[in-house]
Copies of this chain bind each other. A is one copy, B any other.
């Protein structure tokens, strides 16, 4: 582990910080972090002013890590795979929580809190389930200097923590449905190279765990929740997703079937699992003995679901919208939606500019817009423009002496860099319209880019070439596990170089099924399977058009 540790000094610093850091005694230059992370050229002021410091298309991995650290979303930490979520990132998580929490409460889901730690006995009750998690489980074996008689695990997920209690609480059909959710941290001690937000050893999520008297109600909820997840990505984060079912090979360990929403990262053509809603069927209720007296007086096993959304949401949003200047944040979740920057010129009346700038900021704030007045005297406008562009704030409002005179301001959009004049008398309406435009533009732009990279194929020969063009692929498939294994194997062999190419993210060239898309999705067009359609890989009868891709 120590070889994996990350000297603090390699984390991003502001200009003053970079200068000051040399004085710091805690430097450990000898340590070689396994994690690829931004290394600032010390004292290189320019590097800090030039947004991401490198081009998104040229070194996506370095771009990503520069952007999330320089924008003050993330800071690195001296335990590999663990990250600090700074307010700029955490407040986006709070926005997501506020939306989703309100929606599930409408569905009569109640929040609760179950313990972080789980006994070995409970953890290993459902065999398939534990097999899926065992290697990644972190074990507490000591307190102080004394070792524990029975080590306890840190939750990788809470099925085995909650369901023994469910077995005690659920006795009659009147106790159903039981719908609980918790907003918590979980730990999965992966040894793949970690990526902030996307693959970290600790992450934040909500996990919903529900139990029903029959399969119909359970099935309905699985898809209701899946659509809420879609709305988080599409309506809040402007990230289009494909709704679908996971293949047998990719489904949740111990579950009946897994529904998923799949995102797409255009820069490297990777698919990414965005959130999952699992139908657990009766597997867990059987193992944990969640049995109830049904309305006929007999005994039945509960039908259960579990569903989770994580802080991965933020990373996907960054990758999809960000550009060479830094973050590009959707207005709905941006911690600051508009920044007002007063422009001072020599010999000009600065007080008039400042008071008008404040007046505008106050008006916007009163109208419920999250606004910041950047009147810091020690930075010039150029520095401020770069600073707020790096942080992805949707609108910059510039106001100088001429603007005060003409009763207008310049509004600059972060998404398109377009500038427009807005009447100060009409500032609230003007800014609100602009925010709405930015929100819808970010989404439609992302939808077009995503759809341009979903390619329909029918033959294996077209598969890897399509992936190499940074696409995901829709292909007729037989849905057999054996066939999926060979798809993974063959695609990996045909694209050895891929792993190298993206070592920053430590991604392989192997492709897998992302999901079997549901019919009738607003933004996705699906071809029809015909009687005689053959599997693109094994040539046996195809049962479903399935989305394949390289993925995170």
Interface residues, chain A, with chain B CB atoms under 8 Å away: 1-3, 5, 8-9, 11, 13-14, 16-17, 20-21, 24-26, 75, 77-79, 82-87, 90-91, 93-94, 110-119, 121-122, 134-145, 148-152, 154, 164-165, 167-169, 171-172, 174, 180, 184-185, 187, 189, 202, 204, 289, 293, 376, 378
Q: How many copies does the complex hold?
A: 2
A115 pairs with B8, CB closer than 8 A: no
Cα–Cα, bound, A84→B112 (Å): 8
CB-contact partner of A87 in B112, B115, B151, B165, under 8 A: B112
Contacts known (A8-B168, A24-B289); A112 close to B136, Cβ less than 8 A: no
Q: Are A90 and B113 in contact (CB under 8 A)?
A: yes
Q: Which residues of B contact A83 (CB under 8 A)?
A: 115
- Residues in B with CB closer than 8 Å to A91 are 110-111
Given contacts A84-B114, A84-B115, are A75 and B184 in contact (CB under 8 A)? no
Q: Which single residue of chain B is at the shortest CB-CB distance from A292? A: B20
A165:B84 contact, CB within 8 angstroms: yes
Of B110, B122, B293, the residue contacting A16 (CB under 8 A) is B293
A110-B91, A171-B17 known; A135+B144 contact, CB < 8 A: yes
CB distance from A535 to the nearest CB of B (A): 36
- Least CB separation from A24: chain B residue: B289
| A168 and B11 contact, Cβ closer than 8 Å, known pairs A119-B5, A185-B116 | yes
Contact of A25 among B3, B116, B289 (CB under 8 A): B289
| CB–CB A112/B86 < 8 A | yes
Q: Are A143 and B150 neighbours in the complex by a CB distance under 8 Å?
A: no
- Inter-chain CA distance A91–B141, complex, in Å, is 33
Chain B residue contacts of A26, Cβ below 8 A: 164, 167, 289
**Inter-chain contacts of A84 with B (CB < 8 A):** 112-115, 165
Q: A139 is contacted by which of B93, B111, B140 (Cβ under 8 Å)? A: B140
Q: Which of A78, A82, A168 has the most CB of B within 10 A?
A: A168
Cross-chain pairs A/B with CB under 8 angstroms, 18 sampled: A2-B150, A16-B293, A17-B169, A26-B289, A75-B165, A75-B169, A82-B115, A82-B117, A84-B112, A86-B112, A87-B111, A90-B113, A91-B110, A91-B111, A94-B111, A116-B187, A137-B143, A139-B142
Q: Which residues of B contact A145 (CB under 8 A)?
A: 135
Q: Is the CB of A138 within 8 A of B140?
A: yes
- Expressed in whole angstroms, the minimum distance between the Cβ of A94 and any Cβ of chain B is 7
* Given A1-B150, A24-B167, A137-B143: A90 in contact with B78 (beta carbons within 8 A): no
Complex contact A151–B142 (CB within 8 A): yes
What CA separation (Å) do A79 and B140 show in the bound complex?
12
Shortest CB–CB separation between residue A61 and chain B, in angstroms? Answer: 22
List the B side residues contacting A112 at CB < 8 Å.
84-87, 90
User: Lowest 8 A-B CB distances belong to which pairs?
Assistant: A143-B189, A87-B110, A82-B115, A135-B144, A85-B113, A139-B142, A1-B149, A1-B150
